[in-house]
Chain A
Amino acid sequence: MMAVVPKCPICKVDDATEEMECNVSGCAAVEQVCPVCLSKFQCEVCEFAYCDTHRTKCSVCSGVTCAYCARKLPADSRIFDLNCFDIATSSLIETDIIASCPLVSTLPEPDDSIFDDFDPPIEMITYSQSKTAAKRGVRPHNVQAEHFVPNSCFIVGTGRTGAVVKGSGLYSEGKALTYWVDDDQKAGTEHKFLTDLERAFCQECESKGQYPTLKQWLDFMQHATSQSILNHRDYTGDTTGMSDEEIANVTLKAANEAAFAVRYQMQEHFVNVLKANLSAYLGNGIVGGLAPPKKVSKAERYDL
């Protein structure tokens, strides 16, 4: 006999096939809801589900935010979500003086049309914009926004937000430029492939007690992205009349060009928008490592 699935207590229309379990430790709130209503319980910053008690609305953007991602200034009744708090307090960040050449003089500008030569095409978007797209239901199904350099490597301490390492300028998780990659952290997906490479790189640095610079991360990720595009996206350029070997060569060349174009946009965003210093040392947060010390010694510098 087939078990009867109860109706969702929120919309009372769809089947309650999903379990909403509040992410606050010690909170026992659990509810069976439908997939659509489950999203109403999710914090728009961290995307975890929270019960009514541990969830509120941002006074600025009206987005749903959770007990961990909400912020409030003293003598101010407004509740901010983390992204709006970042914006409201961004004027308090001291900008670093960067004595380096402008990006345009160091990297040749790529042709971004290469992004459309792959299926799925490559789309660059900030993490916040990706969240908004998800909220409005215009983010493609089964994609996640990939931070080119892991967010946790910028954060001093644990968690996804908070103080950032010296030289990262105006960096925050939301402001970082990302691109959509296939699915979440399941085996075989583009996201998992990249995360595994990032972890391996970070693990190597951590085991040596060294800290790579932002530029070294960009160099490393350019090569990782090239591999990832080759393995997870189909080349859609014209290959008529080519042998298998020629197609493989053309695809490899296109993947390298696309990875360079991604890196170029990322670097431009870091330097020109976030005012980050390419020589800034990043932490090894993705493997639980600490942020770099105030003064990084010669032995602590990563030799790529």
Chain B
Amino acid sequence: MMVIRSAQMAIFGKAATARHLRSILEFVRKNYPAPVAGVSGEEALARIRWGLQLARKRGVTDSRAAALFASTLFAAGPTFYTHPACRRLLSDPRFHPNDRVFSLFLPAAEIPWETIQASRDDSAWQTVEADFQP
């Protein structure tokens, strides 16, 4: 039987993570081109990593939910989750953190995305850049 050592698995893991980050970046570039225009690939990847970390800190375990959270940082601004409408959904104790993220995309939730985008504070990305210097 073929044996894969944990060190070898770690290399596969690293490659898979890098591929995952690139997929999220492609998704962001395709769906929200304006916020990433003029941002270098490395910077954008650092922002995505930060977004994934933020999602995981909130208990999100599903990779798609975490990636959607991270991509929304680009779409609606890096502090979108502090808006009362988002905060209410993201802290709803009735649901699993994964479902809380998915509930942001329910039209019935009536999140005022235009208002959130209008008041976006892109200076918050500076914190990320300080944390993730390449």
Which residues of chain A have C-beta atoms less than 8 A from B53's C-beta?
none
Q: A70-78, A123-131, A193-201: which one contacts chain B?
A: A70-78
Q: Are B96 and A156 within 8 A (Cβ)?
A: yes
- Beyond A74-B75, A79-B107, is A157–B99 a contact (Cβ under 8 Å)? yes
In A88-143, the 8 Å CB interface with B consists of: 89-95, 97, 99
Q: Is the CB of A85 within 8 A of B105?
A: yes
> Which residues of chain A have C-beta atoms less than 8 A from B16's C-beta?
94-95, 97
Whether the Cβ atoms of B67 and A92 lie closer than 8 Å is: yes
Query: Across the interface, do B108 and A157 meet the contact criterion of CB distance under 8 Å?
Result: no
Identify whether the interface residues of A are mostly helix, strand, loop, or mixed. loop
Pick from B64, B80, B105: contact of A73, CB below 8 A: B105
Cβ contacts A to B, 17 pairs, < 8 Å: A67-B106, A67-B108, A70-B107, A74-B105, A74-B111, A74-B113, A79-B107, A90-B64, A91-B23, A91-B26, A92-B64, A93-B67, A94-B63, A156-B62, A162-B96, A162-B99, A166-B61
- Complex CA gap A163/B68 in Å reads 12
Q: Do residues B106 and A71 form an inter-chain contact, with CB atoms below 8 A?
A: yes
Q: Which residues of A contact B (CB under 8 A)?
A: 56, 67-68, 70-76, 79, 85, 89-95, 97, 99, 156-157, 159, 162-164, 166, 294
Partner of A157 from the list B4, B17, B75, B95 (CB cut-off 8 Å) is B95
**Which residue from chain A places its CB closest to the CB of B100 in the assembled complex?**
A157
A158 → B minimal CB distance (Å): 8
Does B98 lie within 8 Å of A163, measured CB to CB? yes
Q: Specify which of B4, B75, B96, B105 is in contact with A71 (CB 8 Å cutoff).
A: B105
Q: A74-B111, A74-B113, A85-B105 given as contacts; is B61 within 8 A of A156 (CB)?
A: yes
Residue of A nearest to B12 (CB): A97
B88 at the A interface (CB under 8 A): no
A35 to chain B, nearest CB (A): 28
Which residue of chain A is the closest to B71 with respect to CB atoms? Answer: A92
Q: How would you classify the secondary structure of chain B's contact residues: helix, strand, loop or mixed?
A: helix
Instruction: Say which residue of A97, A163, A294 sits within 8 Å of B64 (CB atoms).
Output: A163
Say if the beta carbon of B125 comes within 8 Å of chain A.
no
In the bound complex, do residue B96 and residue A157 qualify as a contact, i.e. CB atoms below 8 Å apart?
Answer: yes
A97: B residues at CB distance < 8 A: 9, 12-13, 16
**Known A67-B107, A70-B107; contact A75-B64, beta-carbon cutoff 8 A:** no
Complex Cα distance A159/B116, Å? 29
- Residue in contact with A92 in the complex, picked from B27, B75, B76, B113, CB distance below 8 Å: B27
Contact of B117 among A74, A99, A159 (CB under 8 A): A74
The 3 closest A-B pairs by CB, nearest first: A163-B62, A163-B98, A92-B67
Given contacts A74-B76, A75-B32, A91-B23, contact A163 B61 (CB under 8 A): yes
B122 to chain A, nearest CB (A): 14
CA separation between A91 and B111, bound complex, in Å? 24
What residues of chain B lie closer than 8 Å to A76, measured between beta carbons? 31
Sample of 10 more A-B contacts, CB < 8 Å, known A73-B105, A97-B9: A74-B80, A74-B105, A75-B75, A75-B76, A90-B64, A92-B24, A94-B63, A95-B19, A97-B12, A156-B98
User: A85–B32 Cα gap in the complex (Å)?
Assistant: 16
Contact between chains at A94 and B76 (CB < 8 Å): no
A75 vs B32: C-alpha distance when bound (angstroms) = 8
Taking CB atoms, residues of chain B closer than 8 Å to A79 are 107
B80: A residues at CB distance < 8 A: 74
Beta-carbon nearest neighbor of B108 in chain A: A67
